[in-house]
Each structure stands twice: as C-alpha cells, then as structure tokens.
C-alpha cells in the first residue's frame, strides 16, 4: 500500500471523520510508478490512522475507507457496509418506492461510489478509478443482495476522461445482465417513472428530490404550476397526481421534455399529453421566464430546480447571482408559492437562502418562508461537502 503523510491538523480532521486528502496536502514523496489502489496514513507517532482508496490520477487522491485500526478490505468488509446502508433505506419499498439510492458514497462508507436501485436494475456510478480493482467482487455482491437483473456502470466525467482507449470499462457498460436499451421502470411513492440509466443525467433520475416532489404534490391541488428545469417531469407527475389545475414545463433539453411526457402518459394513460393544461416550453429558463412575464402569465406554484450553477468553488459568486436572478424572475410570476432548490455543493445553504430572498425582494414582492428541506433518508450526509442539496418553500405576497 502507498504510505502517505499529512499535517497534524489534517490528521485530526481525518480522525474526526473527514474523508478526503488532496494531492497538495501530501507531505512525502510518492513514487510515480505504482499500481496500488489502496493507501494508508500513519499519524505523527507512527500509529495507523486510516486506510483508503489511492487514486494518483485525481487531485482528490485519497478517500478514507476505514479509520482507527487496520482492517482487511475484502468481501466481508464490503458486505457489512452494504448491509448497514440497506438498513437505513428500509421502509422505502413499503412506501411504494423502488427507485432510491442504496449507497451514497463517503456517507455510507463507500467513498467515491454511488449505487442507485431502479427496481430490478442497479446503477453503479464511480467517481474514482480506484474502485476498478474491486469491481467484479462488488458487482457480484450487489447483484446477489438484490437479485437484480442488470447492473449498469456509470462513470463520472473525470473517470471517463482518464481511461485509455481499449480500457476494460466504459460509461454505460452493462456489467451484469443483458438489456438492449437503458430504459428502466420503477416506482416512487406509488407513482411510475421511466428513466434511461445509460444516457440519462446522474444515474438516470434525480432521486434526491423525492421528498420535495411528495411535498409539491401535497400542495398542488387546484393550482396552476410552473415547473422550471423540469427534466424528466418528476415534479409535474406529483403535481398532477395531487390534482393541480395545469402545468407548464420549461427545459432546454428536448430529451428531458420527451421523457417527461413519457412519465405523464405512464401515470395518467386516460389523458393525452401535451394538452391545453399541460404545456412544454423548450428553451433557456431565464429567457422563458422573461417571456412569460411579458405575456403577463401568472402561476400559483413556481418550481425552480436548476442544475448545479457552481461546479467549482470559484464559480460561487456567479452562482449566487444566478439564484437571485432566477428567484426574482420566478417571484414576478406568482403570488402563491415559490419552491427554490440548489444542488451546488460549493454554495452554502445560508448564502443560497439569502440569494433567493434577495431575488424575491428585488421583484418587489413580500415573502414568508414555509419550510426548508435538505437531504432525504437515502442521501445521508456526514461531512460538509456532502451537504449539497438545499431547498426552500416560500409564500410570495403580492
């Protein structure tokens, strides 16, 4: 194993559960040529501190697997971790949910690895190449545990980029089973969804918004809904099931809009979509919101769930401006409820909320917060960087 040395301050952070070491934080020379995928940290007294995944191709080169005492990193270790993760999600299936996150990376003891279940299909997403050496073992373990018919591999952009041509692995590869397309069907709170786990964003669906979708469904009755950044129509399906009066969806991606139609038809086969009270608008959200304002359109419930505006720390200020502009544009279109969410890990919750309130005030509107929400049960967060999702429900006055 690669031995790495870090400062005393960092040692104490790691001891308290922080899971990452970046290249610039390593204090010893590490030979360039090595095939190891595991590393170990000893503290300043030369006592074992942690064992973790070693990834020389990434700036984030060490991710803690186990703390405190040496431990064999083998099938038994992974099985135990998987079973703890499964325990946390118990109960979801009895709520009519067969699409959920089984492993949320570092937060479930599998750093840089996400496992999502879509009924009979498992989607394994890797954020580091270090997992490749364990892949056969993990695939077998996961498949046995869930008796799934298919295991699909998804690779984060940096992992895909670092692969040489002719590599054994590629994004979208079917590790187990033999599906001829990436489309899978699953349930969320009893509602049906289809997702493309090979070509879709994330692992195919934004599973992290399940609890917010449920809440939106509960408040939708009789309301006209504007669903901005609608992707595969998760919020629209819940709003419709909750008895809303109408839906307007906005997304720049035609594939997203098509998938949303597919999901509406799946749940409400007796109605044809699109319809007078179910309209889709393809285009840039900021431009669409401006157009709706110029058309003097008004909605009872506005949903703003954009992609991560800050993918890097240095984009935080720009992202905050964008959240403010979006909230301003959304608030101008309602005197009802505004739901605003952010999935930018680099934007802290309080700064996001401030940006949203600034936007609503700039629209000349009064506002009163109804609720704030964070991560769902199947997306536990155990260290600061893992708290990426935050959202707020706001009553917007005239």
Binding residues for ligand SAH, rule: CB under 6 A, are 206, 209, 229-232, 234-235, 250-253, 256, 284-285, 305-307
* CA gap 202, 104 in Å, rounded: 13
Question: Between residues 56 and 306, which has the closer beta carbon with respect to ligand SAH?
Answer: 306
**Residue 291 beta carbon to ligand SAH: minimum distance, rounded to whole angstroms:** 12
**Residue 251 beta carbon to ligand SAH: minimum distance, rounded to whole angstroms:** 5
* CA gap 146, 18 in Å, rounded: 30
**Residue 250 beta carbon to ligand SAH: minimum distance, rounded to whole angstroms:** 6
**Residue 365 beta carbon to ligand SAH: minimum distance, rounded to whole angstroms:** 22
Question: Between residues 246 and 253, which has the closer beta carbon with respect to ligand SAH?
Answer: 253
**Residue 209 beta carbon to ligand SAH: minimum distance, rounded to whole angstroms:** 5
| Contact status, residue 193 vs residue 234, Cβ threshold 8 Å | yes
DSSP one-letter string for 189-233: TTEEEEEETTTSSTTSS-GGGHHHHHHHHHH-TT-EEEEES-TTT
Question: Between residues 232 and 332, which has the closer beta carbon with respect to ligand SAH?
Answer: 232
Question: Between residues 307 and 364, which has the closer beta carbon with respect to ligand SAH?
Answer: 307
Cα three-residue angle 379-101-98, rounded to 5 degrees: 130
| Contact status, residue 182 vs residue 151, Cβ threshold 8 Å | no
DSSP element (H, E) containing 265: helix 254-267
Q: Can you tell me whether residue 110 is helix, strand or coil? A: coil
Question: Between residues 70 and 254, which has the closer beta carbon with respect to ligand SAH?
Answer: 254
**Structural tokens at position 286:** 């900021």
**Residue 137 beta carbon to ligand SAH: minimum distance, rounded to whole angstroms:** 32
| Contact status, residue 48 vs residue 13, Cβ threshold 8 Å | no
Question: Between residues 51 and 198, which has the closer beta carbon with respect to ligand SAH?
Answer: 198
**Residue 287 beta carbon to ligand SAH: minimum distance, rounded to whole angstroms:** 8
* CA gap 120, 99 in Å, rounded: 9
Bond before 212 cis per omega within 30 degrees = no
Question: Between residues 13 and 375, which has the closer beta carbon with respect to ligand SAH?
Answer: 375
C-alpha distances out from residue 88 to 9, 151, 223, Å: 32, 21, 35
């Amino acid at each position: 194993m690669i031995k790495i040395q870090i400062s005393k301050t960092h040692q104490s952070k790691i001891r308290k559960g922080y899971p990452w070491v970046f290249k610039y934080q390593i204090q010893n020379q590490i030979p360039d040529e090595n095939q190891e995928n595991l590393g170990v940290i000893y503290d300043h007294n030369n006592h074992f501190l942690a064992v973790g995944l070693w990834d020389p191709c990434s700036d984030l080169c060490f991710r803690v697997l186990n703390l405190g005492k040496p431990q064999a990193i083998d099938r038994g270790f992974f099985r135990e971790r998987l079973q703890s993760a499964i325990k946390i999600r118990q109960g979801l299936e009895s709520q009519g949910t067969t699409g959920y996150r089984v492993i949320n990376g570092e937060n479930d003891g599998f750093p840089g690895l996400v496992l999502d279940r879509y009924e009979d299909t498992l989607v394994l997403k890797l954020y580091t190449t270090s997992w490749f050496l364990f892949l056969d073992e993990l695939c077998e373990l996961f498949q046995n545990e869930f008796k799934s018919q298919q295991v699909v591999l998804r690779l984060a952009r940096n992992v895909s980029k670092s692969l040489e041509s002719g590599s054994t692995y590629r994004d979208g590869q079917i590790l187990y089973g033999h599906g001829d397309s990436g489309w899978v069907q699953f349930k969320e709170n009893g509602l049906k969804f289809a997702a493309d786990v090979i070509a879709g964003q994330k692992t195919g669906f934004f599973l992290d918004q399940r609890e917010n979708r449920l809440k939106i469904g509960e408040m939708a009755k009789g309301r006209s809904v504007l669903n901005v950044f609608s992707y595969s129509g998760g919020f629209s399906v819940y709003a419709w099931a909750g008895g809303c009066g109408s839906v307007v969806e906005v997304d720049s991606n035609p594939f997203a809009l098509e998938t949303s139609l597919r999901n509406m038809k799946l749940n409400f086969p007796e109605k044809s979509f699109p319809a007078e009270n179910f309209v889709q608008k393809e285009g840039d959200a900021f431009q669409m919101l401006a157009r709706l304002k110029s058309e003097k359109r008004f909605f009872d419930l506005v949903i703003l769930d954009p992609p991560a505006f800050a993918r890097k720390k240095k984009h935080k200020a720009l992202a905050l401006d964008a959240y403010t502009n979006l909230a301003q544009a959304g608030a101008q279109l309602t005197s009802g409820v505004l739901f605003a969410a952010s999935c930018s890990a680099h934007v802290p919750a309080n700064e996001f909320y401030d940006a949203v309130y600034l936007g609503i005030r700039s629209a000349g509107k009064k506002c009163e917060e109804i609720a704030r929400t964070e991560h769902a049960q199947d997306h536990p967060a155990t260290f600061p960087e893992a708290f990426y999702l935050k959202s707020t429900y706001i009553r917007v006055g005239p």
